[in-house]
Chains A and B, each alone.
Chain A
């Protein structure tokens, strides 16, 4: 029981981190960036390349990869979203162009790294991070240093983003653009720059989730985005589209639900129950657990 809670929190921390970036862009633009999972995947490959080819320690590869993922976000915004901005159908068109970019990113990964599963070589992480486990007395389970590090990094990033959005000037601008781009512009906010910044942050977070996922399960492949894509979507809908606290809470909740479903009902029900929860939320509380009625909260 205790161990399963830890497993769930661990999985949930990755879902939360992934969904946080997803929901940030939605909150600002009202657009689903379907290439988010492809950025997650590419970041994992970037980290692998940095650590195996440039021999960077993983602690150095992590921030560098987040920057690279952020740059991918800028590229996405520039290519898939900005040209469509201002059109009447920009929501649907953006959805489709982001899907196209996801396909392009996956094709690039396939071309460069091939379809097979790749792994961080032995010794990327000190052996102790995996083998040494810390017993958690009250819960009755144990957690490895790696898992603890993943959960901690995820938490630090979640808190960092919350602080950024709530307290910084950029955060105020992001919230202003989320409320109304036109009003923000009138008040002197550089809307294009703000949107680009949110894409950078969103993709950097998605990239961080990808690196942590790649390190934890050590199986990196061009199709790995599929394992979080729909889950991430479920998380942001359950949490309330555009709500950051909602994404975090729903991410952890989904991780926990998934673990208990697998352990007690069987792995075949893994996705069924997650999506049943999604269905229930959509029926009973369409704006999600934390969604504001206007669905504009970043």
Chain B
């Protein structure tokens, strides 16, 4: 962030705290956010920023924390580890934040989170999905986002309840840690569900032609085609599978969870199933209120927005539970958060400090992700 832009929230907070002092004895509590606002993950960062700002306003407006005015200090990590580390250092040392939300990418988290752990600053991850290497960094690292290991089993079970498949074939990228991990979860879940895996094929990230693998998989006549791929490959795989005449269901890992899939695969993406952490159409009052709030701000939220919003709510809840806003108070409070009503559903932490709530299954219908009931 440029110096002028950086000064803005500080000036605003000074102005706000002056107003606050005039009205009531209000203290300003800073919450840092390290988000990818530029670079490869900028699409996600923009959603997260909107979610956090909305949640801060909501908490301040509702008076959840009497005598406390929350202030978000949002900084850009440029989707890189190095910048993420620099942002963490600033948030911890200079801005004296009570807690940090982020970073957007698991990759950056593995590099930056240890700084917060060492400085005893609680971190709430809102989009890290790598099963290992995030919350196991230490007891100050917490996570709202569900891991691949939580979303994929939920999606597969819901899909089976809906479709009743008994056999599957699997295609996955074997040159990427994320798609490989997704495959391991898929295989484990399918095995435990008693679904027979008829064949497994692999591809590499630079590949553009998947006809050979798909022909072999489709030839086994499975009930469902399960794919673990990043979105660029996913679009090609889905398009080529449909071209080869596959009319059956396709279920993808988290890499499919992007509107780029629909844009790039076009009509071929229709009916594709993907697990998601956020059930957009959930009638839960907390979710409906969130949708209304974002609509009033003129913003179309996605999963990342809902997760970031929830991250801030969870921190506010931790402050409310302990009645204090210091770093160790937030950490102590996080451990006591249970059954919090959030847009993601009833939210609690597992003993591993990973979030727990019900994942959902979405399906592409008429060129949009819709929740599969």
Contact = CB atoms under 8 A, between A and B. Distances in A.
Q: Do A and B bind each other?
A: yes
Interface residues on A, range: 20 to 34
A259 B266 contact: no
Contact of B215 (A4, A131, A270): A4
Contacts of A268: 174, 202, 204
A11 B202 contact: no
Interface stretch (B135-143, B205-213, B315-323, B358-366): B205-213
Nearest to B200: A266
B208 A224 contact: yes
Interface string A242-271: 000000000000000011101110111010
B219 interface: yes
Contacts of B264: 117, 119, 218
A3 B202 contact: no
Interface stretch (B7-15, B76-84, B159-167, B239-247): B239-247
B245 A267 contact: no
A122 B266 contact: yes
B232 A267 contact: no
Contacts of A82: none
B216 A263 contact: yes
Contacts of B215: 3-4, 7, 263
A154 B203 CA distance: 26
Contacts, number: 73
Given A4-B216, A119-B264, A122-B267, A267 B211 contact: no
A235 B307 CA distance: 51
Interface in B163-215: 174, 201-204, 206-209, 211-213, 215
Interface residues on B, range: 20 to 34
Nearest to A271: B204
A219 B219 contact: no
A212 to B, nearest CB: 12
A266 B201 contact: yes
Interface of A: 3-4, 7-8, 10-11, 117, 119, 122, 127, 130-131, 133, 142, 144, 146, 213, 217-219, 223-224, 226-227, 258-260, 262-264, 266-268, 270
5 contacts: A213-B208, A218-B239, A263-B215, A267-B212, A270-B204
Ranked 8 nearest A-B pairs via Cβ: A262-B212, A263-B216, A217-B208, A259-B212, A7-B211, A122-B266, A3-B215, A267-B202
